[in-house]
């Protein structure tokens, strides 16, 4: 088990390295850089640009260096916790990002939690009472959740919250807290605002998770070992929880790594629509303006989230399933 | 076979006191959305104290449904619509419970199920949960039915594991099912069923998925435990050999009805019902006379006159549109020459093993020094237990894999033996046509999205043989050859039974008129009567079309029926090769002997000698006595003992003999 853990951790290092290279190259791929975009913008507004100033800026930002030098500067900085400098905001990336990163993490984590808590009991119910009215009902709701685009749901929710209750559910906190320091009141306000985006972002994930759990559990329920457990004289409830449910958990857990990036990217549009102070909208604008260090930091954050999520799900799987734990040493 | 009178022996005493279970007029119905199906119809039988009753029938006869009804584990769609199942627990004399009246999920039924009536299942691989240790699953059964603590439950479980033959029961408690072999898993399953000392054990095909030597061990174990624990056994099986060796009484089920019941001896010696008679006549047994045929319920009469046989002496086709090369029946004089010869072939696979930094490679020897020859016009039977390498060998011959060393020679178009080992895909193409394959699983080997017409003609399209007219006529002829109605050509495989699908597979293999047909367990997924039908068909085709077979099977009786020569394979090696009669009359190798001793005959005069059944694995080359031992010190070769009879052994007057 320890070897497994160690090997799994070691594998993450080259993975993250390759991702960082990929991220950097992809950001650089469009022609030009932040300065050319900036120049075009100024020229289109009819302003004169001093070439000397441009050259100076280029040198200042290191944009005149070859790409690999830029990459290593950036990667070296990342390793030391220095995320680089945002051209657009003229501030270090860490300051630009600020609370957004934490708020994003809170939002995404809550969403994942929401997906699991809601889909688990419903999935079990749907599988054990296949083709009942309840199953059909949840199936219908699930398909609605899958079919409806998130941002549309967000708009609908915003509209009705305003019209019916007269409140605004946009944002992640009440306006007076936006630039205030963290306090109990601010935390409370965040918690109060959190439900709407969590609901909006989590719906489709919940729906697909219910479908998956239902299908897995249905598969397991018809397996021979379930009959064996019944033949032992176990009560139906205990049979369900001890045997097939545990088997059906495997894909459920294996999904942790998948669901994180899905939720994160799914939340970008919703964040724009609901004007949430998360990383999403900022990532979008930084990609548009080729603010490469800012964009790179966001993308690396996403990658780290995925890789760590995968790691966590692998550990959980190995802990749950002895067949994975004893991998390779088995004589079939 | 419509409704025939039930044969019930009169010497059946309905003794109230001694019976543990008495079933009367049991009816089970499956309620489907559009109809109701009566799976069990007025079934009645009884099980006496410490008696073994066999429920015999073919697939779909309803025997498993009966066992599920007794256990109260019928599927949700099934209901007991009539009859009674009176269970008289010997532990509490005087009480009678009607299992049919109990709520399947209620506490009363659950106390009986697993506690007083236990069940073991066919599939040892899937019957245990892979996520829980053996100990966990057995202790659960103990604690459910007895008021004992955790430690005590563990002790009881360990005792039972010791009783079923686990060498180290304490350790076994901590193992997971996937760490055990099939035989040990079935033993764990038996331990789990018996740990609460039930009055009745329901065994649903308990040995069908096991190898023949393991089957014999398991049967002996059940017999031993039965007398030790004083329990009754309801044995559900399709294997009449098992019935003859295990059962005191037997009940024959056909189509959800009892057609005959009585003492095993009476039924075997003097079967009263037509169905029982035909069932008994369909089982291949060892002392069959030369030329004696099995009698399936329905015989296929292949019609053989046409493209398959049609061929002029000089090998040219006289049919317009027919291809030039007429390999199939085109030989006359060359009969008896080797078609295929495999020489000293080795093949090993890498096993993945996790270690620090990457994988440690470990080799598993699947085949070691395998040599065999198939002569034109003969049927060579290859016998071996699961995992012995017989399927690997067939894959090598087909060149689905390449051997590590050794050579595979095949007689090609030119009449010369050609080395297949180093040919590339293009060079192999003409040989692929000449070697065809029939697979074990009739359900998985036919593409469900193709019609029968497409399935049978596909090989001809691939090899671009004949024109559309020729192909059409060939397909029509093949349908008649395998005894299928040509009107079925536009149907899809799902509308055929297992036996019919297997015949489609045979037709597909024949359409290229191959020189060599390889059968990999072609009948092991089929019922006895269908098996007899297919075996007879293969025999007829071989005689009339002068085909050459390599017939791979684990079933000695089947091989005995169809093969001319038999090669016995074990642990990746051929250990004995002999003409059919010589092998059965005079087996030399200890493994062959163990195999022969372990086969249960459907014949009361040849009971299994349980004392001869060796515990442990007969297939371990290290434990064979000298001069047969294979280990680091000795590596015996094939030695000729008499004409055509070769054995792998060390002989002082050693001489290597080409097989």
**Angular region, B620: left φ>0, alpha ψ -120 to 50, beta rest:** beta
* Closest CA of chain A from B127, distance in Å: 4
* Closest CA of chain B from A119, distance in Å: 23
Q: For residue range B128-186, what is the model confidence (pLDDT) as tens digits?
A: 998 899 999 999 999 999 888 889 999 999 999 988 888 888 888 988 988 888 888 88
* Closest CA of chain A from B388, distance in Å: 13
Read off the tokens for B459: 């090989």
Q: Could you tell me the sign of the dihedral formed by the alpha carbons of A190, A191, A197, A201, in that order?
A: positive
Residues of chain A where predicted confidence (pLDDT) is lower than 50: 328-332
CA distances to A85, B216, B593 from B624, rounded to whole Å, are 76, 19, 11
A318: nearest CA partner in chain B = B131
Q: For residue range A56-72, what is the model confidence (pLDDT) as tens digits?
A: 777 777 777 788 888 88
Q: What is the pLDDT of residue B7?
A: 64
Question: Between these two residues, A144 and B332, which has the higher pLDDT value?
Answer: A144
* Bridge partners for B647 per DSSP: B576, B639
Contacts of A126 (CB under 8 A, 6+ apart): A134, A135, A138, A139, A210, A214
Does A129 touch chain B if contact means CB atoms closer than 8 Å? no
Q: What is the pLDDT of residue A44?
A: 79
Q: Residue range B7-17: average pLDDT? A: 52
Q: Residue range B326-340: average pLDDT? A: 58
Q: For residue range A79-128, what is the model confidence (pLDDT) as tens digits?
A: 887 777 787 787 888 888 877 888 888 888 888 889 889 999 999 999 98
Q: What is the pLDDT of residue A149?
A: 85
pLDDT band at B37 (very low <50, low <70, confident <90, very high): confident
Read off the tokens for B51: 């008696």
* Closest CA of chain A from B128, distance in Å: 5
Sheet holding B35-48, edge to edge: B35-48, B19-32, B78-87, B97-98
Residues of chain A found within 8 Å of residue B121, distances taken between Cβ atoms = 224, 227-228, 231
Cross-chain residue pair A224–B126, CB shorter than 8 Å = yes
Cross-chain residue pair B71–A231, CB shorter than 8 Å = yes
User: What integer best gives the mean pLDDT of chain B?
Assistant: 83
pLDDT band at B231 (very low <50, low <70, confident <90, very high): very high
> Which of B32-36, B47-51, B614-618 has maximum average pLDDT?
B47-51
Residues of chain A found within 8 Å of residue B141, distances taken between Cβ atoms = 232-233
What pairing do the DSSP bridges indicate for beta strands B379-383 and B52-56?
unpaired
Of B63, B119, B53, the closest CA to residue B238 belongs to B63
User: B517 pLDDT exceeds 90?
Assistant: yes
CA distances to A82, A123, B283 from A145, rounded to whole Å, are 40, 15, 59
Q: What is the pLDDT of residue B333?
A: 43
User: B39 pLDDT exceeds 50?
Assistant: yes
Alpha-carbon span B472 to B477, nearest angstrom = 9
- Which member of B121, B351, B355 has the closest CB to residue A224? B121
User: B223 pLDDT exceeds 50?
Assistant: yes
Does B129 touch chain A if contact means CB atoms closer than 8 Å? yes
Does B462 touch chain A if contact means CB atoms closer than 8 Å? no
Q: What is the pLDDT of residue B304?
A: 64
* Closest CA of chain B from A320, distance in Å: 8
Q: Residue A65, exposed/middle/buried by CB under 10 A (0-12, 13-18, 19+)?
A: middle
The secondary structure of B327-360 as a DSSP string is -TT--STTTTSEEEEEEEEEEEEEEEEE-SSSEE
Q: What is the pLDDT of residue B442?
A: 85
Biggest distance spanned by C-alpha atoms of chain A? 87
The neighbour count for residue B509, using CB atoms within 10 Å, is 22
Of chain B, the percentage scoring pLDDT greater than 70 comes to 88
Does B135 touch chain A if contact means CB atoms closer than 8 Å? no
Does A227 touch chain B if contact means CB atoms closer than 8 Å? yes
CA B473 to the chain's CA centroid:
35
CA distances to A15, A33, A67, A131, A302 from A29, rounded to whole Å, are 21, 9, 11, 51, 20
Q: What is the pLDDT of residue A217?
A: 92
Find the range with the poorest average confidence among B305-319, B431-445, B517-531.
B305-319
Does A233 touch chain B if contact means CB atoms closer than 8 Å? yes
Q: Residue range B192-216: average pLDDT? A: 88
Cross-chain residue pair A233–B73, CB shorter than 8 Å = no
The pTM for the full model equals 0.80
Does B178 touch chain A if contact means CB atoms closer than 8 Å? yes
Cross-chain residue pair A234–B351, CB shorter than 8 Å = no
Find out whether B394 and B536 touch, Cβ atoms under 8 Å: no
pLDDT band at B351 (very low <50, low <70, confident <90, very high): low
* Closest CA of chain B from A229, distance in Å: 9
Q: What is the pLDDT of residue B4?
A: 52
pLDDT band at B356 (very low <50, low <70, confident <90, very high): very low
Of B439, B437, B435, the closest CA to residue B423 belongs to B435
């Amino acid at each position: 088990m320890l070897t497994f853990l160690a090997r799994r951790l070691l594998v993450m290092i080259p993975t993250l390295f390759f991702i960082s290279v990929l991220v950097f190259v992809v950001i650089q791929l469009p022609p030009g850089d932040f300065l050319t975009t900036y120049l075009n913008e100024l020229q289109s507004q009819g302003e004169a640009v001093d070439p000397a100033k441009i050259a100076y800026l280029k040198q200042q930002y290191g944009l005149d260096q070859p790409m690999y030098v830029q990459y290593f500067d950036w990667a070296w900085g990342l390793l030391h916790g220095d995320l680089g400098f945002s051209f657009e905001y003229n501030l270090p990336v860490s300051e630009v990002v600020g609370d957004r990163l934490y708020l994003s993490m809170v939002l995404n984590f809550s969403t994942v939690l929401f997906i699991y808590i809601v889909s688990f009991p419903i999935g079990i119910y749907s599988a054990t009472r296949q083709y009942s009215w309840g199953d059909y009902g949840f199936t219908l709701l699930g398909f609605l959740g899958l079919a409806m685009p998130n941002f549309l749901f967000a708009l609908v929710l915003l509209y009705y919250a305003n019209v019916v209750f007269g409140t605004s559910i946009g944002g992640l906190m009440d306006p007076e807290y936006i630039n205030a320091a963290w306090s109990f009141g601010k935390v409370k306000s965040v918690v109060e605002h959190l439900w709407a985006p969590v609901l909006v972002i989590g719906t489709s994930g919940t729906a697909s998770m219910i479908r998956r759990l239902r299908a897995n559990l249905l598969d397991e329920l018809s397996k021979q070992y379930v009959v064996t457990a019944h033949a032992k004289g176990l009560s139906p409830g205990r049979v369900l929880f001890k045997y097939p449910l545990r088997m059906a958990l495997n894909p459920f857990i294996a999904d942790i790594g998948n669901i994180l990036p899905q939720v994160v990217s799914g939340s970008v549009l919703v964040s724009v629509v609901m004007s949430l102070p998360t990383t999403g909208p900022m990532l979008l604008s930084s990609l548009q303006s080729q603010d490469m260090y800012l964009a790179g930091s966001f993308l690396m954050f996403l990658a780290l989230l995925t890789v760590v999520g995968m790691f966590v799900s692998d550990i959980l799987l190995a802990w749950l399933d002895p067949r994975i734990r004893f991998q390779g040493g088995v004589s079939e | 076979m419509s409704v025939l009178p039930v044969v019930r022996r009169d010497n059946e005493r309905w003794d109230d006191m001694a019976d543990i279970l008495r079933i009367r007029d049991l009816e089970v119905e499956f309620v489907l959305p559009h109809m109701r199906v009566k799976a069990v119809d007025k079934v009645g039988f009884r099980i006496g104290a410490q008696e073994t009753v066999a429920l015999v029938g073919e697939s779909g006869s309803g025997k498993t449904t009966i066992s599920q009804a007794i256990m109260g584990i019928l599927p949700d769609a099934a209901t007991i619509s009539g009859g009674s199942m009176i269970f008289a627990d010997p532990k509490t004399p005087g009480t009678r419970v009607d299992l049919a009246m109990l709520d399947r999920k209620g506490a009363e039924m659950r106390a009986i199920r697993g506690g007083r009536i236990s069940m073991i299942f066919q599939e040892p691989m899937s019957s245990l949960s892979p996520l829980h240790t053996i100990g966990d699953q057995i202790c659960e059964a103990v604690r459910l039915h007895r008021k004992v603590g955790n430690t005590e439950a563990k002790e009881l479980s360990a005792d039972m594991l010791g009783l079923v033959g686990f060498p180290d029961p304490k350790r076994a408690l901590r193992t997971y099912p996937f760490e055990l072999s099939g035989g040990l898993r079935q033993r764990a399953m038996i331990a789990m069923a018996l740990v609460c000392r039930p009055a009745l054990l329901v065994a649903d095909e308990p040995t069908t998925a096991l190898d023949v030597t393991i089957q014999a061990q398991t049967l002996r174990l059940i017999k031993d435990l039965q007398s030790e624990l004083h329990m009754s056994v309801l044995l559900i099986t399709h294997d009449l050999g098992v019935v003859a060796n295990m059962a005191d009484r037997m009940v024959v089920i056909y189509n959800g009805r009892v057609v005959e019941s009585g003492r095993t001896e009476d039924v075997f010696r003097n079967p009263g019902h037509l169905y029982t008679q035909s069932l008994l006549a369909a089982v291949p047994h060892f002392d069959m006379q030369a030329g004696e045929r099995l009698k399936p319920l329905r015989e296929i009469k292949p019609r053989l006159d046409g493209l398959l046989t049609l061929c002029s002496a000089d090998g040219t086709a006289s049919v317009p549109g027919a291809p030039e090369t007429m390999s199939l029946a085109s030989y006359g004089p060359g009969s008896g020459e080797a078609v295929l010869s495999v020489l000293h072939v080795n093949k090993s696979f890498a096993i993945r093993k996790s270690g620090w930094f990457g994988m440690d490679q470990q080799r598993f020897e699947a085949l070691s020094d395998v040599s065999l020859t198939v002569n034109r016009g003969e049927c060579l039977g290859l016998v071996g237990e699961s995992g012995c390498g017989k399927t690997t060998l067939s894959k090598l011959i087909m060149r689905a894999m390449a051997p590590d060393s050794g050579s595979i020679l095949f007689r090609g178009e030119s009449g010369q033996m050609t080395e297949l080992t180093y040919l590339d895909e293009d060079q192999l193409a003409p040989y692929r046509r000449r070697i065809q394959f029939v697979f074990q699983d009739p359900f998985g080997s036919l593409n469900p999205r193709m019609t029968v017409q497409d399935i049978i003609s596909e090989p001809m399209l691939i090899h671009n043989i004949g024109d559309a007219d020729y192909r059409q006529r060939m397909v029509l002829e093949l349908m008649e050859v395998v005894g299928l109605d040509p009107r079925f050509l536009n149907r899809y495989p799902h509308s055929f039974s297992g036996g019919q699908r297997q015949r489609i597979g045979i037709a597909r293999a024949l359409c290229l008129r191959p020189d060599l047909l390889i059968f990999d367990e072609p009948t092991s997924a089929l019922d006895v009567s269908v098996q007899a039908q297919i075996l007879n068909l293969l025999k007829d085709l071989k005689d009339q079309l002068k085909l050459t077979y390599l017939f791979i099977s684990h079933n000695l009786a089947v091989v005995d029926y169809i093969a001319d020569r038999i090669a016995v394979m074990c642990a990746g090696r051929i250990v004995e090769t002999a003409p059919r009669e010589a092998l059965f009359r005079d087996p030399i190798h200890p493994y062959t002997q163990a195999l022969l001793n372990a086969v249960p005959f459907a014949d009361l005069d040849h009971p299994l000698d349980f004392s001869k059944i060796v515990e442990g694995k007969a297939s371990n080359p290290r434990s064979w006595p000298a001069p047969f031992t294979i280990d680091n010190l000795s590596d015996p070769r094939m030695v000729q003992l008499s004409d055509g009879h070769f054995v792998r052994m060390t002989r002082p007057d050693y001489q290597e003999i080409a097989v």
